[in-house]
Chain A
Amino acid sequence: MKKAMSRSDRLFEWGIDAFLIGVLVVTLVPMWYVAMVSLLPFGKSPSLFLPPWEWSFASYAQLIFQPTIWQATLNSLILTFGGVAISLTLTVMAAYPLSRRELPGRGFIVGLILFTFLFNAGLIPTFLVVKDLGLLNSYWAVLLNGAVSVYNLLVMKTFFQSLPESLEEAARIDGANDWQILRHVVLPLSRPILLTIGLFYGVANWNNFFEPILFLSDRNLMPLPVVLRDILTGLNVAEYVEGGAAQAAPAEALKMAAVVLITLPMLLVYPWIQRYFTKGVLLGSVKE
């Protein structure tokens, strides 16, 4: 039986829905406007809606034909996929032993790791380590320095702890060693968490701009976010604007096209990965 709603309840529902629509508008309008500006033809001023006969892909064309963009895309892919591979491997290999109750000194090691989460020595001492290791101006600096996130490590450890121990005991009786148990028993059961944390690492690496700036000086090594930042601050817009102003895109359009180009991969995969992220946050918020 559905009860008729009172006036105040109906008002309440309207208010709630209006607020949600407001959130939608506030979130989407800036992104929509970026897309509109990126499609701006030369000599027009931006507006929230472009009439269909005024679109122009000139800005995208100009960016896509730049070798710098291709090089940066390649760099970003190396850093993203290489980073995920290294990070995930290291995180699993640390989280699995730490999830075993029989590991000697387990509490001490977890404490050691937790401490680095609460206190870090700061930027300069870390920079000096990378410098002393001779990793400056090499991808290894970026790939290794941020390789393990303590947060992800602890989430993974909690997940491993929740797996039934009897499975591993059975494997051990069958003569499997630790590596075999990890590969053939634990990892196949851990697909959701591997995917979630792999995605966390992937997004972080794709977005990473500070470490490349800090550790790399060779311009050819820079990933997309760094190149985007240079374009936005107008450092090298000239590089992308060729002669022949007639077909050229306005500088504003060029900047926004760069924003769209780097956001696009994220937007394309986002609808599929979104639920994993939510799961990851909720997993992280559940403590032992």
Chain B
Amino acid sequence: MLLPGLLYFLIFRYWPLWNAQIAFRDFQPTLGVWGSPWVGLQHFLEFFNSYYFGQLLTNTLVISLAKIVLGIPPAILLAIALHETSRRFLARVVQTISYLPHFLSWVIVYGILLAMLSPSEGLVNSGLRALGLEPVPFLTSTTTFQPVVVLSEVWKETGWSAILFLAALLSINPTLYEAAAIDGASRWQQVRHISLPGIMDVLVLVLLLKIGSILDAGFHQIFVLYSLPVYSVGDIIDTWVYRQGIQNFQFSLATAVGLFKGIIGLVLIVVANRLARRFVGTGLY
């Protein structure tokens, strides 16, 4: 019974690992993985010494970090607001609506962004024009591309990320709030001294795991949103690997870069999981 599943993992997950050796070879399709000559670390060194290395790493880290820093506070705020409001109907509606964008693919969100941000017809630029300001080409300008990437992610994922925090809030013993209210604590004081400490564990867990996958800056999102004019600020390791590998047939170089990312990512996530297990008592696996 286990066989089909195992075969799946062997073929589609472990065979690629075997193929990854082309990072150390000069892969030529006619010679195949086995026949291509060994070149050692040449592709890795080429990448480390290239001008791309710094740029890709910077873009990846900046976008990823900004998503964490600007993404988590709204999610916590939303969870607290959903938990604290006395209007159950409002809470239910907001919950349903705020999860929705999570289920829209990045292609659809790209369409929505075009509607909002396009220089000619976009809502934001119509507003800017009405105020007598110059329209901004948000998606194709190097100064605005990264903010668009980060804010669109926040728009898409805040509701969904709030679920975990909300679950943590709901697991807080309600007698704590009652006791605090009797002691004369205001609602705000209850949030500060009961709710916030109550979600600390989940927050630490979420933070650690996000940092563990910091080299994943959102391949699908950027793949859809970026274009030639913003490669310098939008290109992350994954998009570069796709372009060099699939579009420019630099199989070995792209594999080396992908492998580099994979190894760093593995170390980070294992360390993050260790830390999470130690400080929170639970981890990703």
Chain A residues near B (Cβ < 8 Å): 6, 8-9, 12-13, 16-17, 19-21, 23-24, 26-31, 33-34, 37, 45-48, 89-91, 93-94, 96-98, 103, 109, 112-114, 116-129, 133, 144-145, 147-148, 153-154, 178-179, 182, 203, 206-210, 214, 225-226, 228-229, 232, 252, 255-256, 258-259, 262-263, 266-267, 270-271, 274, 277-278, 281-282, 285, 287
**Identity of the chain B residue whose Cβ is nearest the Cβ of A119 in the assembled complex:** B266
Closest 6 CB pairs of A and B: A94-B5, A122-B258, A207-B105, A259-B111, A125-B19, A121-B16
Q: Are B258 and A124 in contact (CB under 8 A)?
A: yes
Interface check B71, CB cutoff 8 A: no
Known: A118-B266, A125-B22. A27 touches B108 (CB 8 A): no
Interface check B270, CB cutoff 8 A: yes
Given contacts A124-B22, A229-B110, A281-B160, 8 further A-B contacts (CB under 8 A): A13-B85, A17-B85, A119-B263, A121-B262, A124-B241, A129-B19, A263-B104, A270-B100
Interface check B285, CB cutoff 8 A: yes
Interface check B96, CB cutoff 8 A: yes
Known: A118-B269, A148-B5. A123 touches B254 (CB 8 A): yes
**Per-position contact with A for B204-221: 1 when CB-CB < 8 Å, else 0?**
000000000000000110
Known: A94-B2, A118-B270, A209-B105. A126 touches B186 (CB 8 A): no
B230: which A residues are within 8 A, CB to CB?
none
B11: which A residues are within 8 A, CB to CB?
129, 133
**Which of A9, A113, A125 sits near B17, CB closer than 8 Å?**
A125
Interface check B114, CB cutoff 8 A: yes
- How many angstroms between the C-alpha atoms of A252 and B114 in the bound complex? 9
Q: Are A27 and B101 in contact (CB under 8 A)?
A: yes
**Which of A17, A26, A118 sits near B155, CB closer than 8 Å?**
A26
Report 28 cross-chain contacts, Cβ distance below 8 Å, ordered by A residue: A8-B188, A13-B86, A19-B81, A23-B78, A24-B97, A27-B101, A34-B115, A46-B123, A93-B1, A121-B17, A121-B19, A121-B255, A122-B16, A122-B20, A124-B19, A124-B241, A129-B19, A147-B8, A207-B103, A232-B110, A252-B120, A252-B121, A256-B111, A263-B108, A274-B96, A274-B99, A278-B99, A281-B163
Q: Are B81 and A20 in contact (CB under 8 A)?
A: yes
Interface check B12, CB cutoff 8 A: yes
- How many angstroms between the C-alpha atoms of A26 and B112 in the bound complex? 13
Task: Give the one of B12, B86, B110, B186 with max A CB within 10 A.
Answer: B12
**Identity of the chain A residue whose Cβ is nearest the Cβ of B268 in the assembled complex:** A118
B5: which A residues are within 8 A, CB to CB?
90-91, 93-94, 148, 153
Q: Are A270 and B103 in contact (CB under 8 A)?
A: yes
Number of A-B contacts (CB under 8 A): 255
Known: A24-B93, A27-B98, A147-B8. A33 touches B103 (CB 8 A): no
Known: A12-B188, A232-B114, A256-B115. A116 touches B9 (CB 8 A): yes
**Which of A17, A114, A144 sits near B12, CB closer than 8 Å?**
A144
A26: which B residues are within 8 A, CB to CB?
155
Q: Are B245 and A124 in contact (CB under 8 A)?
A: yes
A277: which B residues are within 8 A, CB to CB?
99, 103
Known: A116-B14, A128-B19, A270-B103. A258 touches B9 (CB 8 A): no
Q: Are B81 and A109 in contact (CB under 8 A)?
A: no
A8: which B residues are within 8 A, CB to CB?
186-188
Task: Give the one of A120, A128, A154, A207 with max B CB within 10 A.
Answer: A128
B255: which A residues are within 8 A, CB to CB?
121-122, 124-125
Interface check B251, CB cutoff 8 A: yes
Interface check B132, CB cutoff 8 A: no
Interface check B69, CB cutoff 8 A: no
B18: which A residues are within 8 A, CB to CB?
125
